[in-house]
């Protein structure tokens, strides 16, 4: 690892700690030349499938976009950040387990709806009403009846 202070290539790991959630490793390093210390973080790199939009465009998976969608549906609802994080983790696990390197955006929408249904019925109805773009009140009524 190259020293960020002097550029020397000889650095030594002084201390290694696993993060509380086990998602990454924190390492304290010391430069062999200038003896300054710095911290590095090591985490696994995973490759999510590409998202295929309705119009055929392919985009990269963006966790922030998923979180924003969940948070919008859950706005002013009694659901904790930890519960949202858990839902995101479960969705990502399902995406990583897919055999294909591409996934249709509507598949992700269905995964989100499944998680929202477990977390909060009102948020589920909110998301579904936009996601499924109901044409009339009967479609909406059917969804509400299904939730009951």
pLDDT at 23: 79
Alpha helices in 3-136 (DSSP H): 63-73, 81-97, 105-119, 121-131
Q: What is the mean pLDDT of the chain?
A: 89
pTM over 0.85, yes/no: no
Select from 65, 79, 69 the least CA-distant residue to 121: 79
Q: Residue holding tokens 């009102």?
A: 122
Q: Cα separation of 78 and 14, whole Å?
A: 44
Q: Cα separation of 98 and 101, whole Å?
A: 8
pLDDT at 16: 94
Give the pLDDT confidence of 17-67 residue by residue, as tens digits.
988 777 789 999 999 999 999 999 998 878 899 999 999 999 999 999 999
CB contact at 8 A, 5 and 34: yes
């Amino acid at each position: 690892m190259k020293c960020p202070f002097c550029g020397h290539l000889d650095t030594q790991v002084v201390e290694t700690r696993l993060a509380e959630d086990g998602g990454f490793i924190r390492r304290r390093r010391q430069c062999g030349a200038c003896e300054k210390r710095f911290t590095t973080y090591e985490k696994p790199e995973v490759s999510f499938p590409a998202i295929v939009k309705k119009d055929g465009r392919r985009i990269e998976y963006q966790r922030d976009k998923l979180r924003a969608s969940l948070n919008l549906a859950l706005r002013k609802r009694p659901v904790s950040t930890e519960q949202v994080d858990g839902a995101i983790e479960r969705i990502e696990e399902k995406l990583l387990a897919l055999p294909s390197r591409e996934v249709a955006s509507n598949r992700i929408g269905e995964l989100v709806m499944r998680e929202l249904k477990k977390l909060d019925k009102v948020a589920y109805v909110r998301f579904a009403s936009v996601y499924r773009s109901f044409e009339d009140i009967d479609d909406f009524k059917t969804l509400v009846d299904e939730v009951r």
